[in-house]
Amino acid sequence: MSDKEEMASDGNLNVTLTLRLLMHGKEVGSIIGKKGETVKKMREESGARINISEGSSPERIVTITGPTEGIFRAFSMIAQKFEEDIAAAMANSNVTSKPPVTLRLVFPGSQCGSLIGKGGSKIKEIRETTGAQVQVAGDMLPDSTERAVTISGAPQAITQCVRHICSVMLESPPKGATIPYRPKVLAAGTHAVLAPQHPAQAFAIPGQYAFAHQDDWMHLPPQVHKSWQYLMILLAA
């Protein structure tokens, strides 16, 4: 483990960074809360700036900027909120296998090699150290030089995973200009097409899965696939 990683793990790393999350409308609504009360509380208690892109796109970009400790607190609060949403959806259902909390980071493609590591060593280390599932998409997001990095697990595992990702960002800055991903606004009457993930082409440690898209459900173990699909129906209701 490098010095920066040790500092991040100990909570002593405190420089300003920006991380971007890709969320669906239902997820955005959850963190905004009634009259914006939830996101206001997150901003005040974390000390991070949390900005949500506007528009009628089915996907939105949530940008979190601040000292790393503030970013960790913001991610912890977001992950905990999604954990509560899952528990609430399961309360009146017959689902017995609880899906993990899943977040999708939008990550500069030029930094993904450092996140994966030689032969997958870095991403494997992050997975084993934090207990979070991690998958780096093989393709760039449309019209950008960024990739989706999906992390799944318990809220604490996700926060620890973000600590490691921040240390990678500091140790390996982006190379060249980054063209940011911007979700497209839908024309009236157009069906939603979400940012694609291609599990067969993505880099994945064996036994890991991405849970963000319907296309990925068929790659899950049967018992998880059934629970996740049913839960997504409940969340969309």
Domain that holds residue 43: 16-171
List the structure tokens of 217: 């459900």
The one-letter code for the residue type at 190 is T
Distance CA 172, CA 168 (A): 6
How far is the C-alpha of 8 from the C-alpha of 121, rounded, in Å?
19
Pairing of strands 59-67, 101-108: unpaired
Determine, yes or no, domain membership for 179: no
- The CATH number assigned to the domain holding 161 equals 3.30.310.210
- How confident is residue 14, by pLDDT bands cut at 50, 70 and 90? low
**Residue 219 within any structural domain of the chain:** no
Domain assignment present for residue 78? The answer is yes
Q: Is 106 helix (H, G, I), strand (E, B) or coil?
A: strand
* In-domain check, residue 25: yes
pTM, 2 dp: 0.75
Q: Is residue 41 part of a domain?
A: yes
Q: In terms of pLDDT, which residue wins out, 104 or 92?
A: 104
Whether residue 81 is contained in a domain is answered as yes
Q: Is the pLDDT of residue 87 over 70?
A: yes
pLDDT tens sequence across 140-193? 999 999 999 999 999 999 999 999 999 999 999 999 999 999 998 766 555 444
Question: Tokens 């206001």 sit at which residue?
Answer: 40
Report the C-alpha gap between 131 and 48 in whole angstroms.
Answer: 25
In a domain, 164, yes or no: yes
The structural domain count of the chain equals 1
pLDDT at 193: 45
The whole-angstrom separation of Cα 131 and Cα 133 is: 7
Residue 183 domain-assigned (yes or no): no
pLDDT score of 76: 97
